Homo-oligomer: A and B are copies of this chain.
Amino acid sequence: MNCSPDIREQISVCNWLKPRGKLRGSPIRDVVLTSGEIDNVGGLLSLRENEPYSIFGSAEVLDLLEANQVYDILDRRLVSLQATASGEAAMLGSGITVELFPVPGKVPLYLEREAPTTGTASEFTVGARVAAGHKSFFYIPGCAAIDDDLAARIRGAKLVFFDGTLWTDDEMIVSGTGSKTGRRMGHIPVSGSDGSLNILSRLGIGRLIFIHVNNTNPMLIDGSPERRDVEAANAEVAYDGMEITL
């Protein structure tokens, strides 16, 4: 996601755009983890080259980093792990606040012993409310169900980024790319009467943008019937280079 110029100075993710003017260095100052799945925490192993930054996440997720010795590669004199309790607003270095909240999900795949519970909220899967000044948005890349708590939280929000992994629950199975349903993987499907598009489109959200979209999801295809369904519900599918003004 790129940011429009008017909030460029405020949004941490935009620090990606600004090298620090050293021989080596990363412009990343803050990392926010929304789960402990490998696609969330794996990249931290590449952020190990003596640059200072902070990692925000739930205690449950940060404990996973502490429990895995490979993450000792992150020099704790430079990289601080900041556990963020549900309902607390954490102040990022750039003046942005982030509030994390549990959403229905599951433990990371590498902790699964048998079929895990996926329908109830836990601190292993969280959404984020990101705010700067009087503007804010929600970022929820993994979510197995939209329960009453979540619906109440995001009702009337100006901007919500939401888990758009699969169009239908059995999409991976039908397409021959996997053996699990979306919900089993911790992702509510977009389509259907109990899908996210139908539920979210009744919450008075200003802009609803699907992210974390799997490459089997037909709503990725411009002009497809599924994309038209998304657009008919006044929702959007994120794309590389997308710019958003709040």
Residues of chain B within 8 A of A179, CB atoms compared = 50
Report, as a range, how many residues of chain A touch the other chain: 20 to 34
Within 8 A of B (CB), among A1-48: 23-24, 38, 41-42, 45-46, 48
Residues of chain B within 8 A of A41, CB atoms compared = 70
Q: How far is the CA of A73 from the CA of B48 in the complex (A)?
A: 21
A23-B176, A42-B45, A69-B110 known, 12 other contacts, Cβ within 8 Å: A23-B175, A23-B177, A38-B45, A38-B70, A38-B73, A42-B42, A42-B46, A42-B70, A45-B45, A50-B178, A68-B68, A72-B111
**Shortest Cβ distance from A49 into chain B, in angstroms?**
9
Residues of chain B within 8 A of A151, CB atoms compared = none
Q: How far is the CA of A109 from the CA of B74 in the complex (A)?
A: 10
**Shortest Cβ distance from A107 into chain B, in angstroms?**
11
Residues of chain B within 8 A of A72, CB atoms compared = 110-111
Q: How far is the CA of A127 from the CA of B162 in the complex (A)?
A: 47
**Shortest Cβ distance from A153 into chain B, in angstroms?**
30
Chain B residue at minimal CB-CB distance from A24:
B177
Residues of chain B within 8 A of A38, CB atoms compared = 45, 48, 70, 73
Residues of chain B within 8 A of A175, CB atoms compared = 23
Q: Is the CB of A69 within 8 A of B23?
A: no
* Per-position binary interface string of chain A over residues 46-89, scored 1 when its CB falls under 8 Å from any chain B CB and 0 otherwise: 10101000000000000010011111110000000000000000
